[in-house]
Structure 1
Amino acid sequence: MSILNADLHCHSVVSDGTLTPEELAARAAANGVELWALTDHDEISGQHRAMAAAHGRGMKYLTGTEISVTFAGHTVHIVGLGFDPDDPQMQQGLVRTRGGRGERAQEMSAQLAQVGIKGAYEGALRYVGNPELISRTHFARFLVEAGVCKDTGEVFRRFLTEGKPGYVAHRWASLKDAVQWITRAGGLAVIAHPARYRFTANEEYALFSEFKAHGGQGVEVVTGSHTAAEYVKYAETAQEFGLAASRGSDFHSPDESHTDLGQLPYLPGGLTPVWELLEARIR
C-alpha cells in the first residue's frame, strides 16, 4: 500500500496558498493524485469544500490541517489527518492559535518600515484570503511585487527570518495541545517536514519522544523540502519510533513551490503508510 499517489500536505487561499480548494483539487487530480488532503495552516474552514471538490474529481479524501506549535524555542508544524472537521474543541483551539497573527503582522510591518519598506502590512493584506491567517508568506509576496526582492527565496534570505528585519516570533500552541486536538477529533497527528527544523540531535530526539508520548503516530518522510538522503533518514526515524509514514508536497502556489501536487517519489518500502491507519477515515 506504500505505492499510492497520496498527497497529504498542501495549502489553499484559506491560509497562505494562492489557489482555491477547488483549483487545488483539479490540479491534484490532473497530476494523478489518488488520495488527497488539504492542510491549511491552523484552519479547517475549507475542509467541506475540499472534500466535495475531491469527490467531484474522483479522488478519495482525508481531512487535514497544519498546526503551528512552539517546541524548544522553534516553530514546529504538526499535520492532522482524518479528524472530524466539525469537532468543537479543535475549532476553538485553532481560533486561539490564529489569534496572535494580526498583532504579529503589525509588528513585522513596523520593523520593515524601520529599514525603509513602507506599507508592508497593507501590501501583505492584498494577498490574504483570510485576514486571520496573515503570515510571512503574504509579506514575502508583497516584497516581491514591490521590487524589493526578485523572488520569495531572496525575501527569506534577507528578511522575515530570525536575526533579519521583519522577524517577529509568535508563541503558538503547545505540542501536547495540537496532538490532542487532532487525536480527540478522531484523527492522526504527523510531524511535518522534520528536516526543516535544524534541531540538534538531542532536540530532535526530544521532539519525537514527546510527540509519541502525547499520542502522535506519524511523520512526513517524503515531502517537498526533503532531499533523497532525508527520505532515507526519516524512514529510519519512523521505524525507530514506531511511527507511520506520510507523503505530501507542501504545495502552495504554481509560481513558488518546488514540488507540484502528486509529483513526489513514493514512500520507501518497509514503512506503514499513514493511510493504512486511517482507512476508516478516508472519505
Structure 2
Amino acid sequence: MDQRQGRCDLHTHSQASDGMQPPADNVKLAKQKGLSAVALTDHDTVAGVAEAQQAGKEYDIDVVAGVEISTRAGGKDIHVLGYYVNTEDEQFLQRLRGLREARDERNHLIIGKLQELGLDISWQEVLDELGRPLEPDESIGRPHMADVLVKKGYAVDMRDAFDRYLAEGKPGFVSVPRVAPEDACEWIRAAGGAAVIAHPGLYNDDELVRRIIEDSRPDGIEVFHSDHGPEAERRYGELAKEYDLIETGGSDYHGKRQGVVFHGDLGSKTVTVDVLERLKAAASQQKGE
C-alpha cells in the first residue's frame, strides 16, 4: 500500500481560479499520488467543483467541495477556506459573485498601476495568456498578471514578479475593500460548510491570527502548508489545541508556472482521513443534521 494511502490534500487550485490545470486533472493527479481525498479550494468560486467531483467518481477518490475566500483584517489579506459547502446555495453563490466583482475591480486597478510604472501590459493580454475563453464564474488573480510580466521580460519568474510588483507593499499592489474573516466564516457556515483559517504563517502576525480566531470562531486552522516550516507547524498546532480547532493541511497546489510548482506539489502536504471526518461533523452541525 502506498504510504500516503488514507491521506488527504485539502488545499488545491484549478483553472477555475489561478491554478494551471482543469479541475479533473487535480483529481487524477491526487489519485496518481496515492491519496484518498482531495479538496478543490479555488479563490472566491466553486465553478470547478462539479467537474472535480465527477472526476472523483471516475478515479474512485473522494473530492471535497471547497472554496478559498478573500478577506481583509489588520491591514492584511486573509484567506478563509470553506469545506463541504453547498455549491448550489444561491445566497452563497451571490456572495461569491460579489467577491469576484471586487477582485475584477482590483485587477484593473493593478493593470493601471503597472502601466503608470511604464510597463507595457494590458488586461486583454492577461486574458489572452489564459489560452482559452474565460468560463462563467471563474476567477482571475495576480498570478495571471505575473505570467504576462514574465513573458514580456519584466520579471524572471512568478516569484520575481510578485517580489518586484505584485506583492503587498510593492508598487503594483492594490487593496480594495473586502469582507472581514468573520463574515467569510459566517457565509461558509450559512452554506452548510466548515470554516478554516488558511496558511496563518503567511500573515507574519500571530497576534492578528489569534484575534481572527476569537472574532470569527472558525472550525479549524491550516497547520500544515507548503510555506510552513516545522516551527510554524508547531506554533499553529499549539494554537489549534488552545482553541480546540481542527488541524487541517494542504499543499496549496496551483500547478507549474515557468517550470516551478506553486506553492507545493499536490500531495506534498497532507492530513489523515480522520481530519475529513471532523470537518464533515462540523459541517453537518451547520446543516442541522
TM-score (norm 2): 0.88
The 2-side partners of 1:168 and 1:249 are apart by 26
For residues 117-166 of structure 1, the C-alpha deviation after alignment (integer angstroms, 9 at most, x for no partner) is 11242222224445862221111111111111111111111111233221
Name 1:25's counterpart in structure 2: 27
Matched letter for residue 209 of structure 2: E
> Counterpart of 2:118 in 1: which secondary structure?
coil
Q: Is 1:167 matched up with 2:152?
A: no
One of 213, 216, 233 as aligned partner of 1:211: 216
Runs of 4+ in 1 over 6 A off after TM superposition: none
Q: Which runs of 5 or more residues in structure 2 are unaligned?
A: 285-289
Compute the RMSD of aligned alpha carbons: 2.2
Matches within 5 A, 1:98-113: 98-113=100-115
> Counterpart of 1:278 in 2: which secondary structure?
helix
Distance apart, 1:5 and its partner CA: 1.1
Name 1:122's counterpart in structure 2: 124
Instruction: Kindly indicate whether the alpha-carbon contact (under 8 Å) linking 1:249 and 1:264 is maintained by their aligned counterparts in 2.
Output: yes
Q: Is 1:223 matched up with 2:187?
A: no
The 2-side partners of 1:3 and 1:165 are apart by 45
Name 2:250's counterpart in structure 1: 248
Q: How many equivalent residue pairs?
A: 273
The 2-side partners of 1:48 and 1:246 are apart by 23
Distance apart, 1:192 and its partner CA: 0.5
One of 28, 46, 49 as aligned partner of 2:51: 49
> Counterpart of 1:9 in 2: which secondary structure?
strand
> Counterpart of 1:133 in 2: which secondary structure?
coil
For residues 66-124 of structure 1, the C-alpha deviation after alignment (integer angstroms, 9 at most, x for no partner) is 00011112110000001111011110110111112222222211211122211242222
The 2-side partners of 1:280 and 1:235 are apart by 19
For residues 177-222 of structure 1, the C-alpha deviation after alignment (integer angstroms, 9 at most, x for no partner) is 21111112211000000000122x432221111121xxx2111111
Matches within 5 A, 1:4-19: 4-19=6-21
Distance apart, 1:265 and its partner CA: 5.7
The 2-side partners of 1:266 and 1:53 are apart by 21
Instruction: Kindly indicate whether the alpha-carbon contact (under 8 Å) linking 1:41 and 1:67 is maintained by their aligned counterparts in 2.
Output: yes
Name 2:268's counterpart in structure 1: 263
Name 2:189's counterpart in structure 1: 183
Matched letter for residue 158 of structure 1: R
The 1-side partners of 2:60 and 2:73 are apart by 38
Q: Is 1:143 matched up with 2:145?
A: no
User: Which piece of structure 1 moves more, 2-11 or 94-103?
Assistant: 2-11
Name 2:287's counterpart in structure 1: none
> Counterpart of 1:159 in 2: which secondary structure?
helix
